[in-house]
Amino acid sequence: MNGTPNTTSEGSSRNRPIDRIPVRVVVFSGKGGVGKTTVAVNLAYALVGRAVRVGLLDADITGPNVPLMTGIAEAPRTDGEHLLPHERAGLKVVSLASMLPPDAAVIWRGPMRSKALEQLLDETEWGALDVLIVDLPPGTGDEVLTITQRLAPQLAIVVTTPQEVALLDARRAIGFARKLEIPAVAIVENMSGLVCPHCGGAIELFGAGGGKRESARQGIEFLGSIPIDPTTREGGDSGCPIVLAEPDGTVSETFERMALRIEEMITRVMSA
C-alpha cells in the first residue's frame, strides 16, 4: 500500500508529519447513532491484523469515543514539539478525549472545534504509517469540511443503517464526498439484522439490504453488512473491540473481509 500523498501546496510547504502518511481514509456518517466509531475502530484493527501500519484519529470533537473503545485512559504524551499517539495492540490512536477531564463537555463554537482539529492534524507525530483512518463527526458541518479538505483522503467510507431515514442522510454524506472529489467512496451497512439467540432466525429490526441497494444506485463500492451483536457492543464498552476479543467470530470475519476490500480499493486508487 505504497504511494505518494495527495497534499496541498500549503501542506507540502509546511512539511506536516501527516503529509508523510501515504494513504488517508475518512469514515463518514450522515447522522449519529449508526455505529460509525465502532466500524472505524474495528476496521482499523482488522487492517492491523493484515500487517498494515495504521493510525486512528478521533476527530469527533464533541463526542470522542475512540479512547473508550480502545481501552485508552492515559494522558497524552509529547516530544516537546509534537503530540505522540497512544498505541494499543499495534494501533496508534489520537483523540481529544485524552486531553480532557472525564465527562467534560466540549462547549466550543464551530471555528474553535475546527482549529482544534487542525492542530491535531498538524502537530501529531505519527511515525511510520501505511494508513491513517479518521473517525469524523456525524453530518457534513464545519469540522468535517475542515478536516477533509486538509487531509485530502483517497477513500471515504460512509456508515449507514438499513432504514430509509438513515440512508437519506448517507446520500448527503456521499454527495459531500463527491463534491470534495475524494477519489473512492464506499458504504458499510451496520446493524443489519439481529440473530435470535433462541431460534437462530434473523430479526430485521431496521430492515435489511438498504446499504447494498444504495451502493448500486450510487455506483459505489459496498463493503458489507454488519449484524447487531451484543458482543460487539460489550467489546466497545470494555475497550476490547470485537476484532480483538473474538478474532474467529462471524462479525470479526466480516470486518476482515472489509479490510481486504479496502486494501484493494486503495491499491486501485493509488495506481490510477
- What is the DSSP code string of 171-188? HHHHHHHHHTT-SEEEEE
| Lowest mean pLDDT, pick from 12-16, 174-178, 230-234 | 12-16
Using DSSP, state whether 4 is helix, strand or coil.
coil
Statement: residue 269 has pLDDT above 70: yes
Note the pLDDT of residue 14. Answer: 56
Cα–Cα distance measured from residue 143 to residue 155, given in angstroms and rounded to the nearest whole number: 18
Statement: residue 52 has pLDDT above 60: yes
Spell 165-189 as b/e; 16+ CB within 10 A means b.
ebbebbbebbebbeebebbbbbbbb
Statement: residue 258 has pLDDT above 50: yes
Q: Rounded to the nearest 10 degrees, what angle do helices 110-123 and 142-151 cross at? A: 20
Contact criterion met (CB below 8 Å) for 52 and 130: yes
Cα–Cα distance measured from residue 4 to residue 235, given in angstroms and rounded to the nearest whole number: 36
Note the pLDDT of residue 80. Answer: 85
- Interior angle at CA 43, CA 39 and CA 49, nearest 5: 150
Note the pLDDT of residue 26. Answer: 97
Note the pLDDT of residue 243. Answer: 97
Confidence band of 101 (pLDDT split at 50, 70, 90): low
Query: Which cell numbers in the block locate residue 143?
Result: 469540522
Note the pLDDT of residue 200. Answer: 66
Cα–Cα distance measured from residue 258 to residue 266, given in angstroms and rounded to the nearest whole number: 12
**Helix (H), strand (E) counts: the chain:** 10, 12
Q: What is the mean pLDDT of residues 68-93?
A: 93
Start-end of H helices in 28-109: 36-48, 66-70
Query: Which cell numbers in the block locate residue 88?
Result: 494499543
Q: What is the pTM of this model?
A: 0.90
Pick the more confident residue, 15 or 93.
Answer: 93
Q: What is the mean pLDDT of residues 202-224?
A: 89
Query: Which cell numbers in the block locate residue 266?
Result: 486503495
What is the residue whose three cell numbers read 495506481? Answer: 271
Query: Which cell numbers in the block locate residue 162?
Result: 438499513
DSSP 157: E
Interval 171-199: pLDDT, tens: 999 999 999 999 999 999 999 887 777 77
Count CB-CB contacts under 10 A for residue 249: 15
Domains observed in the chain: 9-271 (3.40.50.300)
Note the pLDDT of residue 37. Answer: 96
Q: What is the mean pLDDT of residues 27-37?
A: 91
Contact criterion met (CB below 8 Å) for 141 and 110: yes
Q: What is the mean pLDDT of residues 108-120?
A: 83
Cα–Cα distance measured from residue 175 to residue 180, given in angstroms and rounded to the nearest whole number: 9
Q: What percent of the chain has pLDDT over 70?
A: 93
Interval 115-159: pLDDT, tens: 888 888 899 999 999 999 999 999 888 889 989 999 999 999 999
Statement: residue 91 has pLDDT above 90: yes
Statement: residue 3 has pLDDT above 60: no
Using DSSP, state whether 22 is helix, strand or coil.
coil
